[in-house]
């Protein structure tokens, strides 16, 4: 494990400027189309102009380097992570997990609230020591070295990071998007290590919810759904997910089926990469259609940069392909027994229902429905999520062993 500082070579930034200046724009969509066809052309021209002429990467680099960062060799994979010690009498180690198209930069607001609650209106007894890794293949972490490296292998590697180089034999976990999905195998396979798991995203492929028939025909994303749900809440969940697959799931399908083909464009065109990411930040956040009510241009571009700098878009989206082709689900009748908490945000694209969570997690200690917030909860509503984490882990404190 070695200290890590973000220090991008000038040549990389000069190459980026050259590419941005030479952006070849697509033809416009019909008048009034706006974001309905995808990333709005006018907005993207404005964003790229800002990127080229006003965005200061070195300032973002300095800001991110305020956090203690490291890179550790875990089973031959270099894992980049933030490691911020808690300020309190007994900080609980907390593994903080992002997803796509996130980055560890989206934890910038919430990390100080967790490590130093006294400075943010909380009790120092509720402090956490935060470990926030770049998922394998994302940002400054290495790409997975072999095929089949899906979310369960992410869980295995990150658990080894915690108990190996860091020495945290007992720790908590919080995750959204892929981070929330990774929580499930972490809690299921390693209850001896995980004292509690908090999720603001649950996913859909936790367990097969019906027995597929040989002559069955299914639409994209609906392979695990029951054919004719009779429970009203189950039916509501799958209807919402069906509509999301139809209206929003195209990105997911191509990343699950042909990630490398897409990666050529995203690795060559910074404007294309920014469009792919900015459109999702707008669609999935609680922004009311104006992405900059939630994310500033600097914040959007900092996340885009963490995919651009190491050319990691291609290795990041492989998690979709590997999970589709190497699936993992709970066995029939099995449940996750690790204490769990769920925080349901109203603009989350795949909602969490308590009855559905209870079918897979047998020890739900806390379930909170929030009044605002979307898919990027740790960034959009850091105070709310930090409060939930403090409340959930408070009775679990004392059950961890620190190094």
Q: Give per-residue pLDDT as tens, 168-227.
A: 999 999 999 999 999 999 999 999 999 999 999 998 878 777 777 777 777 777 777 777
Neighbour-count burial for 10-33, b at 16+ CB within 10 Å, e otherwise: eeeeeebeeebeebeeeeeeeeee
The residues, ordered by sequence, that sit 6+ positions from 44 with a Cβ below 8 Å of its Cβ are: 25, 271, 274, 275, 278
Quick check: bond before 101 cis, omega within 30?
A: yes
188 exposure class (CB count in 10 Å sphere: 0-12, 13-18, 19+): buried
DSSP letter for each residue of 152-220: HHHHHHHHHHHHTTS--SSEEEEESTHHHHHHHHHHHH-TTTEEEEEES---S-SS--S---TT----T
Contacts of 211 (CB under 8 A, 6+ apart): none
Q: Of 80, 83, 98, 375, which residue is the catalytic one?
A: 375
Say if residues 209 and 224 touch (Cβ distance below 8 Å): yes
H-helix or E-strand spanning residue 129: strand 128-133
Residue 223 pLDDT:
76
**What is d(CA 401, CA 366) in angstroms, rounded to the nearest whole number?**
23
Q: Give CA–CA dist 117/172, Å, rounded.
A: 17
177 catalytic per annotation: yes
CA–CA distance, 315 with 138 (Å, rounded to integer): 7
Which residue in the list 320, 321, 360, 361 is annotated as catalytic? 320
Reported as a single tens digit per residue, the pLDDT across 335-381 is: 999 999 999 999 999 999 999 999 999 999 999 999 999 999 999 99
d(CA 297, CA 299): 5
- 3 state SS of 34: helix
Q: What is the pLDDT of residue 399?
A: 67
Q: In whole numbers, what is the pLDDT of the chain averaged over residues?
A: 94
Q: What is the rounded CA–CA span in Å between residue 81 and residue 175?
A: 15
Residues 40, 142, 156, 177: which is the catalytic one?
177
- Contact between residue 74 and residue 161 where contact means Cβ atoms under 8 Å apart: yes
Domains present along the chain, CATH in parentheses: 2-207+249-396 (3.40.50.1820)
Q: Please answer whether residues 133 and 80 qualify as being in contact, where contact means their C-beta atoms are separated by less than 8 angstroms.
A: yes
User: What is the pLDDT averaged over residues 117-128?
Assistant: 96
**The pLDDT value given to residue 402:** 43
pLDDT tens sequence across 222-233: 777 777 888 899
pLDDT digits (tens, 9 = 90+) for 20-47: 999 999 999 998 889 999 999 999 999 9
């Amino acid at each position: 494990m070695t200290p890590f500082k973000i220090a991008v070579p000038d040549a990389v930034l000069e190459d980026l400027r050259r590419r941005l200046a030479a952006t070849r724009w697509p033809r416009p969509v019909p008048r009034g189309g706006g974001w309905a066809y995808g990333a709005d052309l006018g907005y993207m021209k404005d964003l790229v102009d800002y990127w080229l002429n006003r965005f200061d990467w070195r300032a973002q680099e300095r800001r991110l380097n305020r956090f203690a960062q490291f890179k550790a060799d875990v089973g031959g994979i270099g894992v980049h992570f933030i490691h911020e010690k808690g300020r309190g009498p007994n900080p609980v180690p907390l593994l903080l997990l992002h997803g796509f198209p996130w980055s560890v930069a989206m934890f910038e607001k919430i990390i100080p609230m967790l490590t130093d609650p006294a400075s943010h209106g909380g009790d120092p007894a509720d402090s956490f020591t935060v470990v926030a890794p770049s998922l394998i293949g994302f940002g400054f972490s290495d790409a997975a070295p072999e095929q089949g490296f899906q979310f369960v292998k992410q869980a295995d590697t990150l658990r080894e990071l915690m108990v190996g180089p860091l020495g945290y034999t007992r720790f908590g976990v919080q995750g959204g998007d892929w981070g929330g999905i990774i929580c499930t195998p972490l809690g299921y396979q390693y209850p001896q290590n995980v004292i509690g798991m908090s999720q603001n995203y649950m996913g859909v492929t936790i367990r097969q919810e019906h027995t597929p028939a040989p002559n069955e025909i299914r639409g994209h994303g609906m392979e695990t759904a029951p054919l004719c749900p009779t429970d009203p809440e189950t039916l509501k969940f799958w209807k919402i997910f069906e509509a999301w697959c139809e209206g929003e799931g195209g990105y997911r399908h191509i990343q699950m089926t042909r990630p490398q083909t897409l990666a050529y464009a995203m690795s060559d065109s910074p404007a294309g990469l920014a469009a792919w990411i900015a459109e999702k930040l707008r669609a999935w956040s609680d922004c009311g259609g104006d992405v900059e009510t939630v994310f500033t241009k600097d914040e959007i571009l900092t996340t885009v940069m963490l995919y651009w700098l190491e050319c990691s878009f291609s290795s990041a989206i492989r998690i979709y392909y590997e999970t589709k082709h190497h699936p993992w689900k709970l066995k029939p009748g099995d449940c996750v027994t690790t204490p769990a908490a769920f925080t349901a945000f109203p603009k989350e694209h795949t909602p969490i229902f308590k009855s559905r969570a209870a079918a897979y997690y047998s020890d739900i200690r806390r379930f909170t429905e929030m009044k605002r917030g979307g898919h990027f909860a740790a960034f959009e509503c850091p105070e709310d999520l930090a409060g939930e984490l403090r409340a959930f882990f408070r009775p679990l404190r004392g059950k961890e062993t620190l190094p």
